[in-house]
Amino acid sequence: MCRWAAYCGDPIYISDIVTDPDHSLIQQSRRASQGLTPTNADGFGVAWYGSRPEPGLYRDIYPAWSDPNLKSLACQVQSGLFMAHVRASTGTATSRNNCHPFAVKRWSFMHNGQIGGFERFRKQADMMIADELYASRKGATDSEALFLLAMTAGLDASPKSALKTAVEQLQALSETRGEAPHMRITAAISDGEQLYALRAASDEHAPSLYYRREAAGWLVVSEPLQDDARGYTEVPSGSFCRFDRNDMAIEPF
C-alpha cells in the first residue's frame, strides 16, 4: 500500500514535507510504519500549484530515496498547495503513467488503498468513464479509473458527491465481479483552491490518515512525519474532509 502527504496553506518548500522531517515521505518510502508494506519503491510523484490553474507534475518510476532530481526540486519549489506520493503497486506495472498523483485540467488526485479484484472488471470500469475524459486514461490503475469516474460524476460541481458516486460504482463492481476487500481507500484531491481528503472502507480496515494544523496551514498524511506524533489527529473512517488555508471541516462520507 502507498504512502502520501498533502499540504494546504501559506507557501512552504516541498522539502518541508518530502525530505526534511524525521519520518518524511522519503523515509516512509523505505520504512513506512502504518502501511501493509514497509517499502514503497514502485515510483513516486509530486503535484503542486503555483500561479497557473493547472498543477505542475513530476513523476518517475524510481524509488523516491534514489532520485536526486526530486530532492533538488523539493528544495527549490515553494507552493501553498501540493501533494506527494510514494507507490507500492498492488499489481499493475511500474510505469510513469501508473504513478500518482494524476492530473487532468485543474484537478490533481492521489490514492492509497485497494479495490478488490479490479483486474477482473477493469474493462467495465473504463467503459463508465465519459468519452471526453477517456483520452486522459494513460495508465492501468484502479486509482486513475476512480479519479476519472469522479470527474465523470461532476467534480467541478460537488467533489464529495462525485467521489461518492465513483467509490460506489467501483465497490459495486468489486462486489459483483471482484473479491474482498472490496474497497479500502484514502485519497486526496484538489482543484488548486481547496484540498479534499477521504478515508473509507467496505470493512473495518480503512488505511490510516491523519491531519495536523501547522503554523502556516494544514498537513494531511498517511502517517505522521515526525517520530513524535503529538499534534496529529486521526481522520475517522467514513469521513470526507475539506481544507483551505484557514479552516477545515469533516463530514460523514
Beta-carbon contacts of 32 under 8 Å, excluding residues fewer than 6 positions away, are 3, 38, 39, 40, 222, 223
- The catalytic residue among 2, 8, 99, 241 is 2
Under 8 Å between Cβ of 207 and 222: yes
| Per-residue cell: 234 | 486521526
Q: What strands, in cross-sheet order, belong to the sheet with 184-190?
A: 102-104, 107-114, 184-190, 195-201, 239-243, 248-252
Q: In which element (H, E) is residue 123 found?
A: helix 118-127
How far is residue 250 from each of residues 37, 113, 196, 206, 214, measured CA to CA in Å?
A: 28, 20, 10, 16, 17
> Residue holding cell 498547495?
81
Mapping DSSP to helix (H, G, I), strand (E, B) and coil, where does residue 25 land? helix
What is each CA distance from 129 to 98, 108, 167, 217, in whole angstroms? Answer: 17, 17, 13, 34
Q: What one-character-per-residue DSSP string does 162-178 give?
A: HHHHHHHHHHHHHHHHS
Active site (annotated) includes residue 2? yes
How far, in Å, CA of 80 to CA of 232, rounded?
20
Strand partners, 107: 104
Annotated catalytic residues are 2
